[in-house]
Amino acid sequence: MKLFCAVLILLSPILLSDITYSQWSSDSTVNLNISDLNGDQALPKMSLTSDGGCYISWFDNRNGSYAVYLQKLNQAGVKQFQTDGLLVSANPQSTSLVDWDMITDNQDNAIIVFTDTRNGSSINPFAYKISPAGDFLWGSNGVTLSTDVNTFQPNPKVIQTSDSNYVVTWVYSSSPNKIAFQKLSPSGTKLWGADPVYVAGGVSENYTYPSIVTSDNGSVIALWAGYTGSFINPGNYRLYSRKFSPSSSTVWQDTVYSLGRVTGFFVPKIFSDRNNGALYVWQDDRNSVNLQSSFVQHIASDGSIQFPLNGTEVSSAAGNNKFDAWASYMPATSETFVIFKMTNSLQSQFAVYGQKISLKGDRQWGFDGIAFQQFGQNSMEKLLCMVQDTLVVFAFNESIFGSVNNQIKYFTASRSAVIGWGGYIHFLSSVAGEKLKLVGVINSNRMSMLAWSDRRIDGGGIYAQNINSNGSLGNLTGINPAGTEVPGGFKLEQNYPNPFNPETKVVFSIPENSFISLNVFDVLGNKVKTIVNGKINAGTYEVTINGNDLTSGVYFYRLISGKTEITRKMLLIR
């Protein structure tokens, strides 16, 4: 499938307050307010939608106790649900929130898994399926994943399999702890029995921190940690990975890490390599020198280990900690990109480092990695690395020394570790206030979208911001009001220039707030790109289309709103 790069520019909007706060901001001191009501909005999750937008979900105690809310944004940052989110669940919640998860499936439904205490004092896991229109496809109370209501069962994670089912994993807090797995059909039917499939260790080995990625032919690859002793002081620490078949049988299992020197509070991570295999990230003190270092492993779909035994260390810099690594795989080059925090031994000086790892697990940016932000007193609370095609976007939440304020920063770097977008690190959010967590996604147009919990007003709100493929915030050339006049009709102008190479512009107008789609087709009628698909405010818009990845030829672009449809032809000449 050929890809276009499209950017939506508002030319003539209605000047309404919801328009002002419902589009991506070009100002790092503003950001997009997803929800910031009284109380705490916390623990955001984010997942892409096929129109280039995203879902954002969060916990929210605006009414006195924590509930789960969901918002859908199109690629222009316009909210598709009610202003402060769609209420997913207001069932009784524990006073202490645990981790949870959300994905978007191949039908653009949001799949949300979380825990609550609706069945008693112990938290249990539940799964919800919400359509792009906000319909509850698995019922108003979702699917109950466990029939045991008396056991503490935290931290559910979910993926969709390649055969359109769903697998959920979570911790089952028995003595010792086990890992639970359940498979759901598209209709929400349990496919692995009324009770989940359990994975247990030995008589004294606790299992914890499960997570999961999609593999081939309906299978999944799971990661979890095992240890003996207490959670505070774990012994014999191991990281295990298993590939499950569609029927829950074991395809292969391996020990990712076996050296035993990991602290209990660190959460290991698994990432898809987007080729049916998995990347694994953790940190350990394998040399018993009271310094932690981050490591990465890559296991292919067939179970073959790609990197050295017990992983590739991201940096060999002596005397320093290397914390909180985040990895992303670039299929086009078979390279793994990593961002991590480096500290001195006293953890009083902090820097942002990066590393590139080859297909065989060799460090490519030197033995020590590359310092993108030099050592200083500001610490980093969350670091992200996102890859689309050959673009790598890094982001991190920086805690300002001596204050409660945080600032979120971002940058890109080439495969040779040269910082792009002007050669420096940019501010994503520079508003005063404490910022917690940071989640992000990057779409096929190479636009990144990030969200976080933000205490700029009160105990917490959810804010978001985009980053365009050229490093700018907001719409590519900004959102530029050209007047207050509402368009008199539904219009789609001829693109200009036409013929074009490689960029062309399309202007269209809609007379009222409505749901529209703007798609591009080849001469055979195949849709090659969805440019806009969502609720748009009344106004005149301009779209810039980049055809760098297209061959010469005729293409059609079609605008649809309700029963109204206009199609025009354009010509790309190399």
Q: Report the pLDDT value the prediction gives residue 320, as an integer from 0 to 100.
A: 97
CA dist 308 and 256 (Å) reads: 10
- Do 3 and 123 lie in a common domain? no
Domain-embedded: residue 305: no
- The residue from 211, 234, 266 where one domain ends is 266
Q: 259 with 122, same domain? A: yes
What number is the average pLDDT over the span 485-490? 71
536 domain-assigned = yes
Residue 363 in domain: no
User: Which residue in 513, 411, 527, 404 sits closest to 460, CA to CA?
Assistant: 404
Residue 259 lies in a domain: yes
- List, in sequence order, every residue forming a beta bridge with 326; answer none if it has no partner: 339
pLDDT at 202: 86
Residue 402 maps to a domain: no
What CATH code is carried by the domain that includes residue 200?
2.115.10.20
Q: What is the pLDDT of residues 127-139, one digit of tens each?
A: 999 999 999 999 9
Instruction: Name the residue with tokens 């049988």.
Output: 249
Q: Does the residue 461 lie in any domain?
A: no
Half-sphere exposure of 522 (CA within 13 A, CB side): 12
Same domain, 117 and 252: yes
Asked whether residue 3 falls in the same domain as residue 110, the answer is no
pLDDT average, residue stretch 375-387: 96
pLDDT confidence bin for 272, thresholds 50/70/90 = very high
Terminal-residue alpha carbon distance, the chain: 19
Segment 423-433, tens digit of pLDDT: 999 999 999 99
Q: Rounded to whole angstroms, how far apart are CA atoms 293 and 316?
A: 8
CA distance 410 to 564: 41
CA distances from 236 to 35, 164, 305 (A): 44, 37, 22
- Quick check: 11 pLDDT over 80? no
Q: Which of 207, 166, 208 is nearest to 187 (CA)?
A: 166
Summarised one tens digit per residue, pLDDT across range 81-122 is 999 999 999 999 988 899 999 999 999 999 999 999 999 999
Domain end position, chosen among 240, 266, 292: 266
Is there a single domain that holds both residue 111 and residue 236? yes
Q: List the beta bridge partners of residue 396.
A: 383, 409
Host domain of residue 234: 100-266
Looking at the structure, do residues 15 and 104 belong to the same domain, yes or no? no
Are 119 and 227 found together in one domain?
Answer: yes
Q: Determine how many CB atoms are found less than 10 A away from the CB of residue 418.
A: 10
Distances (CA, A) of 216 to 1, 243, 526: 20, 10, 26
Q: Quick check: 10 pLDDT over 90?
A: no
Check which CATH number belongs to the domain holding 496 and give it. Answer: 2.60.40.1930
User: Residue 157: what pLDDT?
Assistant: 98
* Mean pLDDT confidence for 365-389: 96
pLDDT at 476 (0 to 100): 55
User: Do 6 and 132 share a domain, yes or no?
Assistant: no
* Statement to judge: residues 129 and 1 lie in one domain: no
Question: In sequence order, what DSSP letters do the residues of 377-397 get, joined into one string?
Answer: S-EEEEEEEEEETTEEEEEEE
Pick the closest to residue 2 from 535, 524, 456, 559 (CA basis): 524
**pLDDT tens readout for residues 541-558:** 878 777 777 889 999 999
Mean pLDDT of the chain: 91
Q: How far apart are CA 55 and CA 57, in angstroms?
A: 7
- Segment 460-465 shows an average pLDDT of 97
Domain shared by 111 and 247, yes or no: yes
Q: Can you tell me the distance from the alpha carbon of 52 to that of 42, in angstroms, rounded to the nearest whole number? A: 24
pLDDT at 467 over 80: yes
- What pLDDT does residue 262 have? 86
The pLDDT of residue 13: 36
In a domain, 494, yes or no: yes
- What CA–CA distances, in Å, run from 174 to 146, 192, 201, 208, 375? 14, 20, 12, 11, 44
Residues 131 and 261 reside in one and the same domain: yes
Question: Percent of the chain, pLDDT > 90?
Answer: 75
- Domain for residue 185, yes or no? yes
Q: Number of structural domains, the chain? A: 2
Where among 207, 236, 266 does a domain terminate? 266
Residues 256 and 118 in one domain: yes
Backbone torsion region of residue 556, taken as left when φ is above 0, otherwise alpha when ψ lies between -120 and 50, otherwise beta: beta
Supply the Cα-derived Rg of the chain in whole angstroms: 24
Measured CA to CA, the distance from residue 30 to residue 432 in angstroms comes to 11
